[in-house]
Structure 1
Amino acid sequence: MNLKAANDLLQRYLNNECTAEEKKLVEDWYGHLLETGDLQLSAEEKLVVKQRMEKNILQQISGSESDAGGKVYKAQFNWRKVWWAAAIVVALLSAGLFVLTDRTETKTELAQNNIEADVQAPESNRAVITLANGQRVYIDSAINRQLLLPGNMKLVKLPSGEIAYELDETAAGSNISYNTVSNPRGSKVLSMMLADGTKFWLNAGSSLTYPVVFTGDVRKVEITGEAYFEVAHNDKLPFVVAKGETEIKVLGTHFNVNAYHDEKELKVTLLEGAVQVQNGKEALLLKPGQQAEVETGIKLVDGVDIELVMAWKNGMFAFHDASVQEVMRQLARWYDVSVRYEGTIPVHSFRGKIQRDNNLSVVLQILAEANIHYKINGNEIVVTK
């Protein structure tokens, strides 16, 4: 069966217009593929085929989407738990075989070269804590044992896997000292708990500076990059996250801060509770589902897609009308690669989700689907139109 016939059959199946024989063919075909895995492709090639064809099938079903900035490309299909998923999978795999063998030699060779020069997703955490005395502690080397710190503090690994500070009662009166935890590019997300019980998750290419023991009338930390916070409630001791002139003040709540230096705006997204975002003399109170975008002023955004914002913490890349540059900045941090553009930067928008544990070449297929050429030279991605 060729590509056109497979798509025609799929469309009739979705519209419930198949004959009994055609319906049985689709479902038997699907069952056979599931049972035997009878596809002459590697596991990685099957994944590439699937992600390529998800966009094509969506366009067959609902038509392509576009906006003023160029075409919009969807990277992942959100599967529904209904019978016609079987037909879609069959079409993905069968049409994918056709696509792999029917592209031009240049494109096929490019895809093979990319896989050969691949970059793997981070497999471990390479975070390091810089103590007040300048000593650097690599978390992975101390993760299975307690680490004694100045001021009667201990750094331990909890049963949940989190890294946490444990405070002895005798430490309450200690002089304040600061630690900085840095999670470099190309490192898995770090989960930690501060001495007050506040939990935070630190994305790749991010850091947090904090006091080992919170004293005085405020719990203040400083951020670079991106972190999600679940702040331990304390009416008498507000929690403040600072980045330059911007401060986020809370009592106890859940929120995300994206403060990468190479992003246009600092973004604060509230999931639960309430936060006050202040930039200079301007201040804004957020409610759950709202986002503050801070540049020269503060812009309020309602109805934020929380799943999109929190994708990084949940092991996903998620894009909504993202430019090529936005996509590449996320990839550069996660895979610890640099990006170079040759010629004019392509103008396209991307939507969808892709798991972050994929190799780089698999994720880059979203560019290939937009007819944007790329190659991987060591730890550099070269993007051309």
Structure 2
Amino acid sequence: MNQQEKIRVLAEKWLNGTITEEEKQEFEHWYNDHPEESLNWMSADSEDELKARMFSQIMDEPRINRLTRKFAIAASVLVIIGSASLFFYTYTSGKRKDSEPQIARTKIAPEKIEGVSLTLANGSTIPLEMVNTGPVASQGSAIIHKQPDGQLAYLHQNRESQEILFNTISVPKGSKVQSIRLSDGTIAWLNMESTMHFPVSFSGKQREVEITGEVYFEVSPDAARKFVVRTQTSSTEVLGTHFNVNTYGQPVVTLLEGKVKFAGNGSEQLLAPGQQARLLPGSKKIHLDKSPDLEAVMAWKSGLFKLNNANVPTIMEQLSRWYDIDVNMGPGLNDVRFSGMMERKKDLAAVLEILSLTREVRFEKNGKSLTVLANTRIAN
């Protein structure tokens, strides 16, 4: 059996629900390495028939009642979006019926390095896509170096500087996750639409940075100097730990390792590993979640987008940052929810087409503006 025949067999097994975990990993590995390659099915199924078979597996599931079935269908499409389903729905051949949702196939791909910038103490800005690997600039007692993997590293020079200098790194919408190694060895990863303002060299009794957006930290231990992350309305204090700070809405801190103290609105909360704290809007209280979905929280750092019963406005807010698009929401979308995983490298048209195939939503695109509308249907 040659490679093409083997892949067709694995695809059929995936569709029929008979694929093993080992075979599933093999299929995903092949798909990730050959995303544009076509596949001629051994079965006579048309694209419509393949979709019907997928949906029938959900519709026939006895544990799903009529009220929740439509959400299960939506979830099923996204559960395997990172592997077989996107291949089935995006790259299979065959004519579409006029009644099928149509999405303009203009590719808008995420994770472009253009726009990531570093602002130096004198106000000058360096676009990182224009910088080659090696020294970038000298700031006080530190030299900034761009590593082969794109990370920025602040390295100490053999001289002292009495002046405290600050730099700012900015990662816009539609860009890429950017990592930076600070002068104390702490590493920070910035998600899209995020900034971090920091000293080129830490001095005094504490290490302090200011952020907007979402940043994940792996803090270098220093028992003598705590590490403080400040946002507009909160602060997080640690000595050495791994944690994520999300400020797209109300500040949310998720602890993966170590211990942190989260403070805001006059309240404080200590977190243990695996816990999450958030400021409640219009309140001085801090909500503590002892079992958040850590995989969903940290998916962005791995180039993934995980949905865990997320409604359409939440999904589109993230896609807006991901693809740098302006989203307008129609009514009736708060109760339409999805679960699953997507890869950041997929282009926007492919993602919208998958969502449209659920028949729960439809899209109208005009340039960088996207309108999301609920599909009206008669309930069974």
The equivalent residue for 1:383 is 372
CA distance in 2 between counterparts of 1:351 and 1:166 reads 42
- 1:275 has 2:260 as partner: yes
The equivalent residue for 2:104 is 114
CA distance in 2 between counterparts of 1:53 and 1:128 reads 48
- 1:266 has 2:251 as partner: yes
**TM-score, length basis structure 1:** 0.76
> What are the within-5 Å matches in structure 2 for residues 283-298 of structure 1?
283-295=268-280, 296=283, 297-298=285-286
CA distance in 1 between counterparts of 2:265 and 2:371 reads 39
For the residue of structure 2 that corresponds to 1:187, the secondary structure is: coil
Change (3 A) 1:93 1:166: closer
Paired amino acid for 1:105? D
CA offset at residue 164 of structure 1?
0.6
Aligned residue among 114, 124, 127 for 2:113: 124
Change (3 A) 1:105 1:159: closer
Aligned residue among 37, 40, 51 for 2:39: 37
**TM-score, length basis structure 2:** 0.77
CA distance in 1 between counterparts of 2:56 and 2:231 reads 42
The equivalent residue for 1:329 is 317
Q: Which runs of 5+ in 1 are unaligned?
A: 1-5, 15-33, 80-87
8 Å contact kept, 2:136–2:146: no
Per mean C-alpha deviation after superposition, the further-off stretch among 362-371 and 173-182 is 362-371
Q: Which runs of 5+ in 2 are unaligned?
A: 1-11, 20-33, 375-380
CA distance in 2 between counterparts of 1:71 and 1:313 reads 27
8 Å contact kept, 1:120–1:359: yes
Percent of residue pairs identical: 31
- 1:320 has 2:313 as partner: no
> What are the within-5 Å matches in structure 2 for residues 201-240 of structure 1?
201-240=189-228
Paired amino acid for 1:199? I
CA distance in 1 between counterparts of 2:229 and 2:52 reads 41
CA offset at residue 346 of structure 1?
5.7
The equivalent residue for 1:84 is none
CA distance in 2 between counterparts of 1:245 and 1:214 reads 23
For the residue of structure 2 that corresponds to 1:313, the secondary structure is: helix
CA offset at residue 363 of structure 1?
1.4
Aligned residue among 143, 146, 150 for 2:139: 150
The equivalent residue for 1:25 is none
CA distance in 2 between counterparts of 1:239 and 1:290 reads 19
Residues 127-146 of structure 1 deviation map (CA, whole Å, 9 limit, x = unaligned) = 11111211101112124231
Change (3 A) 1:36 1:202: closer
CA distance in 1 between counterparts of 2:54 and 2:193 reads 31
The equivalent residue for 2:71 is 71
8 Å contact kept, 2:111–2:174: yes
The equivalent residue for 1:20 is none
The equivalent residue for 1:167 is 156
Aligned residue among 210, 217, 238 for 1:250: 238
Paired amino acid for 1:235? A
Change (3 A) 1:300 1:346: closer
Change (3 A) 1:313 1:213: same
Count of aligned residue pairs for this structure pair: 334
CA offset at residue 375 of structure 1?
2.2
Change (3 A) 1:196 1:374: same
CA distance in 2 between counterparts of 1:170 and 1:97 reads 61
Change (3 A) 1:138 1:93: closer
Paired amino acid for 1:349? R
Paired amino acid for 1:220? E
Per mean C-alpha deviation after superposition, the further-off stretch among 179-188 and 159-168 is 159-168
8 Å contact kept, 1:228–1:256: yes
The equivalent residue for 1:23 is none
CA offset at residue 222 of structure 1?
0.7
CA distance in 1 between counterparts of 2:239 and 2:66 reads 43
The equivalent residue for 1:27 is none
Change (3 A) 1:65 1:222: farther
Q: CA RMSD, aligned part only? A: 3.7
8 Å contact kept, 2:244–2:255: yes
CA offset at residue 281 of structure 1?
2.5
The equivalent residue for 1:359 is 347
Per mean C-alpha deviation after superposition, the further-off stretch among 191-200 and 54-63 is 54-63
8 Å contact kept, 1:268–1:293: yes
Change (3 A) 1:168 1:279: same
